[in-house]
Structure 1
Amino acid sequence: MGKSREEETVAEGGKPMRLWGGRFEGGPADALTRLSVSVQFDWRLAPYDLLASRAHARVLHRAGLLSDDELTRMLGALEDLEEACRSGSFRPTVADEDVHTALERGLLERLGSLGGKLRAGRSRNDQVATDLRLYLRDHVRHIVSRLVELETALMSQAEEHAATAAPGMTHLQHAQPVSFGHQLLAHVHAIARDVDRLRDWDRRAAVSPLGAGALAGSSLPLDPQAVAEELGFTSAAPNSMDAVADRDFAAEFLFCAAMAGVHLSRLGEEIVLWASQEFHWIEMDDAYSTGSSIMPQKKNPDVAELARGKSGRLIGNLMTMLTILKGLPLTYNRDLQEDKEPIFDTVDTLLLVLPAMSGLVATMRVNTARLETSAPDGFALATDLAELLVRKGVPFRDAHEAVGHLVVWCQVNDTTFEKLTEEDLAKISPHFTAATGEGPGALDVLNVQGALASRKAFGGTAPDRVRDQLAALREIVDGQAAWASGS
C-alpha cells in the first residue's frame, strides 16, 4: 500500500507537512503560506495540545478505535514528545503551519501511520478552542497569584499607616484628611474585584469544546463529557457549533485583564505623584527606580510609569479581540487565528508588570511627617466644621455658607484655620458663636486626628475602621491565594 501524502512529506523532510491537501493538486503559494503560518506564536499551546491529545486517545480507545497496545504506544509517544518539547530537542520548523501540525509531525515520527489515528473525531477547530481555554485557565491562576502579592504589599503598608493622616483629594485638590492606610486599601479593594472577576470568568470558561469536531460533532462513538472531566472542565459544550465559534471566554478574559490594567495605571499614577518633589509623600527604593543619563540627581518612577503605559496595551488587546469577533458568521473562520497574540501579550504583560509593582509598593518608604503636616492644608477641615454646626442644629445649607465665608476671610487675611481665635469666628457668623455650647466648640474640631477618628461609620477613614478593613481583606486575599494555588 502506498504512503499517504503526510507520510511522504515527513519521510522526505524537505516539503512542508500539512493537515490538509488531499483535494488539492498543487501546494499553496508562498504568500499564502507566510500569511497562514501561526506556529511562531501558538507553539506555547503545545503542552495543552498534548494534554488534550492524551484524553482524546483514551476516548478513542474506549470507543474501540484504538486497541490496548495502540493506546499504550500512543500514550508513550505523546509522553516522549512532551519531554522532547520541554527539553527543546523537538521544535517546530518553518515548514509547520501551526502547533497542531508540528505535534502531529512529531507523533508520526515516533509512531508512523499509527500516529495518524489520533486525528479521528477531532479537528483543529475544536483542538485550538480547547487548548486556548486550558492555557488561559492555567495562566489566570498565575495572574491571580501575582495580584495577591500586590494586594499583600499594599495591605502591609496600610497596616503600618492606618493612623497616618494624609491629604485626601478630589479633583487632585485637598479635600478632607484621610488615613493613608485607608487610601492604600482603596487600591486593594479595586484589585480584589479584579480577582473576583477572574474567578467568576473561570467558572464560565470551564466548558470543553473537544468533541465538537469542525462544527457538527462526530459520528464516531466518542464521549465529550469524559474528555471534559479528564481535562478539568466542568462540562462539555452543549452545542458543537457554538463550541468552535465561541471566543466569549477570550474577550471576557481580556476585559478582566484590561480592567486590572486600568487599576494598575491608577495606582501607578498616584505613585508617580507621591514620589514627585511637589508631593514628596514617598521615597522609592533604589531597586525599583531608575536614574537619568544626563541629570545625576534624578530618581525616576519607571515601574509606575510603565504600569501606567502598559495598560494601553491591555485595553488595545481587548479592542482587537472585539473587532475580530464583530460580524463573524458561524462557525470557525480563519480570522480566529488572530485571537492568540492579544491573549498571549496580555498574559505576558500582566506577569511582567505585577511583580515589579509589588516590589515597588513593598519597598517604598512613606514620608509620614510630610503627610501629616500637609493633611490639613487647603482648609481641609472645613467639612468637619460645617458638620459641627449641623450637630448644633444649623441647617447644612447655612453651615456650608458660613464655613465658605470663613475660608474666604482666612485667605484675605493670609491665615489658616489653626490660627483662628474665638473673636475671629464671631466676626464671620453667629453660627460659630452658637456652637460654643455643650460639647466641642468650633475650634475644637479643627484637629486632624480628631477629624479622622470621627469618621467611624462603616467604610470610613477612622483608624479603627481601617483596621477592620484590613482584617476583612486578609480573609478575602487568603481565599484568593488558596484558589490560585488550587487548594
Structure 2
Amino acid sequence: MTRALENTGRIAHGLCPGARHIVFGDTADAAIDSDLWLMTEIDRAHVVMLCRRGLLPPERAAPLLALIAALRVENFASLRGRPAPRGLYLLYESLLIERLGGETGGALHTGRSRNDLGATLFRLKLRVPARRLLRELLRLEAVLLSRARRHLDVVMPAYTHFQPALPVTFGHWLAGIACAVGRDARALLDGVLPDLDHCPLGAGAVGGTSFPIDPRLTARLLGFTDPVGHSIDAVASRDCALRLLSAAGILGVTLSRMATDLLVWSTPEFGFLRLPDGLVGSSSMMPQKRNPFLLEHVQGLAAKPLGAFVTAAAASHAKPFSNTIAANTEGVGVIWEALRAITDAVTLSRLVIAFARPAPAAMRRSATAGFTAATELANQLARAGVPFREAHHQVGAAIAEALAAGGRERLHETVTESFADRLESDADAVSLDAVVAATRFGGGPAATSVRAAIAAEQAGWRTLVGRGQEIDRRWRHAAQELDAADHAIGEARR
C-alpha cells in the first residue's frame, strides 16, 4: 500500500525519508486525531451532494458512507500506525480504495481538490475554539457587570500616570472593563465569525470544476451560510485566521491592562483587593507570601495571539494569491495554541473578578490622601466666579503650601478649609461621596451614570448571547440534516 501511495502516476517515488518525517511525520496519527473526524464530515456532505446531482449513483455512494461511518465508530483504528508518505488524506483515500475498489473508493474526490478540502477543514476546525472564546468572553462580561452593580458605592481613586487623579468607584472601574470586553466580543461576532460562515468547498485546486456540483448544498449541510463565490479567493485566503488573531490580540491587550491594575492593587502597599486562597500561590522559600500569580498568567497568555498574528501575517506577506503552503499551512499553524491561551486568559480573569474582594476602607483612604477631590474644588471656585485656569492655579498652590508645612495627613481638610469663605456651597460639596455623586455627566462614576452604562452594556450582552445561540442552532440543524441525508442514501440502496 505504501508504494501505491507514493506513485502518483506523474511522480514515481515519494519524498526522501528525512523530508517525509519533517512534513508528514512517521505516521498520520496526530493528524487523525486533529483532522479526520471533521474531514469525514466534509466527505459525507460531498458524497450526499454528488449523489443528489447524479454524479455518484446511490449504489456507490451508500458503501462509501457506510465505510466512513464504520471508520468513525472505530475511531479510525484501521489507519493508525500506518506510514503516510503523502499525508493524511491520501492515506485515508487509499484505504477507501483498498476496501471498496477504485470505482467506488476513488470516486470520493470527484469535483474537488485537497486545496478546497483543506480550506474548508480549516474553517470547520476554527469553529469550536472561536465559539468557545466568545462564550468564555461573554461569561467574563456577565461577571464584570454583576460585580460592577455590586460595588457601585465603593469609592476609590482613579489613577493617571500611576498617581491618584479623581474619585471614582470600584463599580465604575469594573463597568469600564466590561465595556471594553463587550467590544472585544462584538469584534469576534461581527468581524470574525461571519468569515467562518462561508464554505470554500467546490473551488477545487484553484479554478473550480467542470462537474455540475452544488456548493450551496454542501455549504448548508456543513452549517455554513453560503459558499465562497470565487475559486481563487476560496483557496488562497486565510484572512479569517488573521482577523481572528487580530481580535484575540486586541482582547489580550484589554486583559493584560486589567491584570496589571489588579496586580498593583493587590499589593500590601495598596491593599485594595484580597483574593481567596484558591486563587493565590505561596512561595517555596518565603512563608509569608500570597502571590496573585494567576494574573501574571493572564498577562503572559494574553500576549500569545499577538505573536501568532505576526507569525501568520509574515508567512502570508508577499506570497502568491493562490494556495500556498507557507501561508495556508505553516503560517496558520500557530493559531491553535494562541486561541487556547487567550481563552485560558479569559477564564482566569473571570475567576479573579468573581472572587476578588475589595477593601473599601483602604480605597477610600487612598482617595482621600491623594486629595482626589482637588479638581472638584477648582470647579467649585469656578462656579463662584473664578476663571477655571486661575482656580486650578490657586488650588495647586494651596496644595503645595500645605505639603510644605507637613500637612499630608490632613491635606484634604487643610486645603478645603482654606477656601471655605470663597465657596458658594459648604465643604461637604467636595467630600468624596459628593464628588462621585456629582460626576454624572460624561460617563462619570455617579451611580446613575454607571447604572445607565451597565444597562446599555447588558442589552448588548443579551444580543450577543442570542446571536451566538443562533449559530449553535444552525450548526446542530446542519448536522441533523446531514445525518438524515446520509441515512436516506443507505435506505434507498436497501
CA contact (8 A) 1:84 1:90 kept: no
- Asked if 1:434 corresponds to 2:422, the answer is yes
Task: Measure how far apart 1:41 and its partner are.
Answer: 5.7
Query: Which residue of the other structure, out of 123, 136, 139, is the alignment partner of 1:149?
Result: 139
Structure 2 spans left out of the alignment, 5+ residues:
474-494
Counterpart AA for 2:196: A
Q: Distance in 1 between matches of 2:204 and 2:417?
A: 86
Deviation at 1:175, TM superposition (A): 0.2
Counterparts in 2 of 1:314-353, with a 5 A limit?
314-335=305-326, 336-353=328-345
1:138 corresponds to which of 106, 122, 128: 128
Structure 2 counterpart of 1:418, which letter? H
Equivalent residue, structure 2, for 1:168? 158
Q: Deviations over 1:20-79 (max 9, x none)?
A: 722112221112212322754684233322221111111211232211122222222222
Partner of 2:393: 401
Structure 1 residues 41 and 445, CA, compared in 2 at 3 Å: closer, same or farther?
farther
Cα distance 1:219–1:322, how it changes in 2: closer, same or farther (>3 A)? same
Aligned to 2:437: 453
Aligned to 2:289: 298
Question: Is 1:245 aligned to 2:239, yes or no?
Answer: no
TM-score, normalised via structure 1 length: 0.89
Identity across the alignment (%):
31
Query: Greater CA deviation, 73-82 or 217-226?
Result: 73-82
Report how far residue 205 of structure 1 moved: 2.9
SS of 1:375's equivalent in the other structure is helix
Distance 1:422 1:71, change over 3 A: closer
Question: Is the 1:285–1:360 Cα contact (8 Å) retained in structure 2?
Answer: no
Aligned to 2:418: 424
Instruction: Give the 4+ runs in structure 1 shifted more than 6 A.
Output: none
Contact 2:64–2:105 (CA under 8 A) maintained in structure 1: yes
Assess if the C-alpha contact under 8 Å between 1:417 and 1:446 holds in 2. no
SS of residue paired to 1:402: helix
Report Cα offsets for 1:260-298 as digits up to 9, x if no partner: 111111111112112111111111122222111111111
Deviations 1:463-486 (A, max 9, x none): 222222222222222222333333
Could you give the per-residue CA deviations for residues 167-210 of structure 1, whole angstroms, max 9, x where no partner exists? 10111110001011110111111111111011112123321110
Matched, 1:95 2:80: no
- Return the TM-score normalized by structure 2: 0.88
In structure 2, distance between residues paired with 1:67 and 1:42: 28
- Structure 2 Cα separation of the partners of residues 85 and 339 of structure 1: 29
Instruction: Check the 8 A contact 1:254/1:343 in 2, yes or no.
Output: yes
2 CA distance for matches of 1:191 and 1:34? Answer: 43
Unaligned segments of structure 1, at least 5 residues: 1-7, 10-14, 426-431
Matching of residue 23 in structure 1 with residue 23 in structure 2: no
Aligned partners of 2:86, 2:241: CA distance in 1, in Å? 22
**Cα offset, 1:411, TM superposition:** 0.8
Partner of 1:50: 40
Q: CA offset at residue 94 of structure 1?
A: 4.8
Partner of 2:200: 209
Aligned equivalent of 1:122: 112
Describe the shift of the 1:229–1:462 C-alpha distance in structure 2 as closer, same or farther (beyond 3 A): same
For residues 309 and 185 of structure 2, what CA distance do their matches in structure 1 show? 18
In the alignment, what sits opposite 1:4?
none
Q: Residues of 1 paired with 2:449 and 2:341: CA distance?
A: 35
Counterparts in 2 of 1:383 and 1:89: CA distance versus 1, 3 Å: farther
2:375 to 369, 383, 388: 383
Give the secondary-structure state (helix, strand or coil) at the position aligned to 1:210.
coil
Aligned CA-pair RMSD = 2.3
Write the distance in 1 (CA, Å) between the matches of 2:375 and 2:34: 57
Q: Which residue among 441, 444, 455 is the counterpart of 1:471?
A: 455
CA distance 1:316–1:475, shift in 2 (3 Å):
same
The amino acid across from 2:90 in the alignment is: T
Give 2:252's aligned amino acid: G
